[in-house]
Amino acid sequence: MAASARTRQANRRLRLLLVIVLLAFGGTLARAAWLQVVQGPRLSRIAQSQHHEVVKTPAGRGTIFDRTGVPLAIGEQTTTVFADPKQVRNPRVVALAAHAILGVSANQLYPQLLDKRSQFVYVQRFADPAKAELLAKRNLAGVGFYPEQRRTYPQGTVAPQVIGYAGVDNTGLEGLEYEYNTSLSGRTGTETIVRDPVGRTIDVLSSTPEVEGQDVFSTIDHTIQANAEQVLRQTVSQWRAKYAVAIVLDPKTGAVLAMAQAPGYNANQSNSVPLAVQRNRAVTDTYEPGSTFKLVTITGALSESLVTPSTKFTLAPSIRVADRVIHDAEPRPTETMTVAQILQRSSNVGAITLAEKLGGARLMSWIRKFGFGRPTAIDFPGESPGDVLPLDQWSGSTIGNVPIGQGIAVTPIQMASVYAAVANGGVWIQPHLVERIGSEPPRQWARRRIISPPVNAKVKTMLTGVVADAGATGTAAAIPGYSVAGKTGTAQKPNGHGGYSDTNFDATFVGMVPASNPRLVVLVMVDEPRGSIFGGVVAAPAFASIAKFDLQYLEIPPDEPGTRTTLGASG
């Protein structure tokens, strides 16, 4: 009886165990089915995200070259080292290894590696590739590497305001780097990779190759640019000026050979340079041009057949225009001057007399025809259109200040391009800083005739007299062996209160050489010189120094054989 009871009890236990086993198996089976059927897609996505990763492979940024093939901006190959704190097994070992090999601060890196909420920490960006390779040989879990370019500027202080710079992500932020960023950047590639549990790459599932950025070939000549910058530094120092700008143009093509500025800076240190110094004032800033603007007034009067270069005027020492009395820069008695002498001696009274004959409407049409009041469309960001007062807003005295370059604002590149048109037989060509991109053919630039050939020839002859004739304002711009045509400018600066400063001036000279067949146009503008204010004293010698060097460097033969000169290298 007792044995039978024990048997029944054992059977019950076996049946209970069987039931438990069946229930456990059924639960497991149900769980598996639920995970596979119901949760399968979601879990698959999670698994893929844990092991699969899409990595971007940056494209190499194109090089910016000068016109002779010298690199102005290049991509330096580096290796960026990073870590995934979730995958790092021993943060202390990683921090110490990074300190020993890369020189990073272990004290700063270690707390970042302890933060398991993060999946990405820079160990060192733009590391030396050789040092990064030494660290890679340690096979530290959670530490990764990828190639990356760092933008560098091998010419340093040459043309920084023109080239601009690219940021840490190799995106152009200023200058030509910004203007041509799309072409320079190329296209980023991608790789879909599989990582093991400690973050190491074990397979590449697919990849799209990156497309390298295109090279940009600028018109800048680094030798001409460097010399112009040196001359400007000397000029700013000599005259204790606020800043100075110089432009060297090829008038036959519109190519900018130099666009210099002082003070300058090293393009590799752009992040620490004030924005005011980085600004390319030749394109973005305006100034009142003073007597260099008389070219427009006199060209208009000649083109409208109102005068000839030999037409004479008896000019009083001053002239009244509405409520203003305007006189020449230097005191003089009543004199008779020809139109050519009005330009050569930069007579304000004479220029206003011509403007009154021309009239406001025709003067404004010539201002517009020369391109003032709108951008030149040079291939550079942030160009200012200048400031031209609309004709319907002119007061009675406007005809007395605009013809002499007061009450109107222009950019240095606008003024240089206008004188380049005179040098080019009266045909204006759009100024530009880049000749071509990659393997593309050279770009075509806009051109238009703004002065008829007969009038242009007269204007150029008159501008030659500004430099060559005794008593003219531009004699300091003369260059032995070469004829020079150009114009001085001295302009009071607005004082910000509706009037003009008695102490702050802009001094300018813009000219062309050789005048018989111009190959170069050079503009020099000096802001707030001290000791002298006149363009013929401050800016004309800088023009001569820049132009003389360029003529010798480019081996342009002299056009005045009666004057001895020596071609060769110049320091």
Number of domains within the chain: 2
Which pLDDT value is given to residue 41? 66
Range of the domain at 211: 54-218
Q: Per residue in 139-159, pLDDT tens?
A: 888 898 888 888 999 999 999
One domain for residues 201 and 343: no
Q: What value does the mean pLDDT take over residues 126-136?
A: 90
One domain for residues 334 and 289: yes
Q: How confident is the model at residue 5 (pLDDT cuts 50, 70, 90)?
A: low
Which pLDDT value is given to residue 150? 87
One domain for residues 280 and 378: yes
Which pLDDT value is given to residue 187? 80
DSSP designation for 68: T
User: Does some domain include residue 2?
Assistant: no
Cα torsion through 428, 433, 439, 444, rounded to 10: -10
Which of 101-105, 218-222, 489-493 has maximum average pLDDT? 218-222
Q: At what angle do helices 360-369 and 294-303 cross, to 10 degrees?
A: 110
One domain for residues 462 and 518: yes
Q: What value does the mean pLDDT take over residues 405-429?
A: 97
Residue in 354, 298, 288, 290 with CA at minimum distance from that of residue 321: 354
Where is 512: in which H helix or E strand? Answer: strand 500-513
Q: How confident is the model at residue 564 (pLDDT cuts 50, 70, 90)?
A: very low
User: 172 vs 32, which has greater pLDDT?
Assistant: 172
Q: How confident is the model at residue 557 (pLDDT cuts 50, 70, 90)?
A: very high
Which pLDDT value is given to residue 196? 60
Q: Per residue in 260-282, pLDDT tens?
A: 999 999 999 988 899 889 999 99
User: Does some domain include residue 116?
Assistant: yes
**Mean pLDDT value across the chain:** 89
Residue in 382, 394, 448, 393 with CA at minimum distance from that of residue 417: 448
User: 224 vs 39, which has greater pLDDT?
Assistant: 224
Which pLDDT value is given to residue 36? 65
Q: Per residue in 287-307, pLDDT tens?
A: 999 999 999 999 999 999 999
Which pLDDT value is given to residue 461? 96
Contacts of 34 (CB under 8 A, 6+ apart): none
Task: Specify whether the CB–CB gap between 146 and 80 falls below 8 A.
Answer: yes
One domain for residues 252 and 168: no
Residue in this structure with the two tokens 């045509």, named with its chain if needed: 485
Which pLDDT value is given to residue 334? 95
pTM of the model: 0.84
DSSP designation for 402: G
Q: Per residue in 371-388, pLDDT tens?
A: 999 999 999 999 999 999
Where is 294: in which H helix or E strand? Answer: helix 294-303
Q: How confident is the model at residue 436 (pLDDT cuts 50, 70, 90)?
A: very high
Q: Per residue in 321-369, pLDDT tens?
A: 988 899 998 889 999 999 999 999 999 999 999 999 999 999 999 999 9
One domain for residues 236 and 335: yes
Q: What CATH number does the domain containing 335 carry? A: 3.40.710.10
Which pLDDT value is given to residue 32? 66
Q: How confident is the model at residue 46 (pLDDT cuts 50, 70, 90)?
A: low
Contacts of 252 (CB under 8 A, 6+ apart): 424, 429, 519
- pLDDT of residue 568 exceeding 80, the answer is no
Which pLDDT value is given to residue 569? 32
Chain-centroid distance of CA 300 in Å reads 34
Q: What value does the mean pLDDT take over residues 188-211?
A: 66
One domain for residues 283 and 344: yes
Task: Specify whether the CB–CB gap between 86 and 226 falls below 8 A.
Answer: no
Which pLDDT value is given to residue 295? 97
One domain for residues 205 and 243: no
Backbone phi, psi, residue 62, to 5°:
-65, 160
DSSP letter string, 154-214: TTTTSSHHHH-EE-TTS-EEEHHHHHTHHHHH-B-EEEEEEE-TTS-EEEEEEEE--BPPP
- pLDDT of residue 513 exceeding 80, the answer is yes
Q: Which range has the worst mean pLDDT, 3-12, 31-40, 212-221, 362-371?
A: 31-40
Chain-centroid distance of CA 405 in Å reads 27
Residue in this structure with the two tokens 């300190």, named with its chain if needed: 99
- pLDDT of residue 59 exceeding 80, the answer is no
**43: left (phi > 0), else alpha (psi -120 to 50), else beta?**
alpha
Query: Is the preceding peptide bond at 274 cis, omega within 30 degrees of 0?
Result: no
**Percentage of residues in the chain with pLDDT exceeding 90?**
67
One domain for residues 186 and 251: no
One domain for residues 186 and 231: no
In angstroms, the CA 57 to CA 261 distance is 38
- pLDDT of residue 197 exceeding 60, the answer is no
- pLDDT of residue 454 exceeding 90, the answer is yes
Which pLDDT value is given to residue 57? 66
Task: Specify whether the CB–CB gap between 228 and 158 falls below 8 A.
Answer: no
3-state secondary structure of 312: strand
In angstroms, the CA 392 to CA 45 distance is 69
Contacts of 438 (CB under 8 A, 6+ apart): 62, 183, 214, 215
Q: What CATH number does the domain containing 93 carry? A: 3.90.1310.10
Which pLDDT value is given to residue 566? 38
Single-letter amino acid code for the residue at 399: I
Backbone phi, psi, residue 376, to 5°:
-75, -15
Task: Specify whether the CB–CB gap between 506 and 412 falls below 8 A.
Answer: no
- pLDDT of residue 418 exceeding 70, the answer is yes
Q: What value does the mean pLDDT take over residues 310-320?
A: 95
Which pLDDT value is given to residue 571? 34
Neighbours of 455 (CB within 10 A): 20
User: Does some domain include residue 12?
Assistant: no
- pLDDT of residue 27 exceeding 80, the answer is no
In angstroms, the CA 470 to CA 351 distance is 20
Q: How confident is the model at residue 48 (pLDDT cuts 50, 70, 90)?
A: low
In angstroms, the CA 161 to CA 174 distance is 8
User: Does some domain include residue 245?
Assistant: yes
Could you tell me the two tokens for 524? 């020099």
DSSP designation for 287: B
One domain for residues 135 and 246: no
One domain for residues 241 and 133: no
DSSP designation for 541: H
Which pLDDT value is given to residue 565? 41
Task: Specify whether the CB–CB gap between 419 and 511 falls below 8 A.
Answer: yes
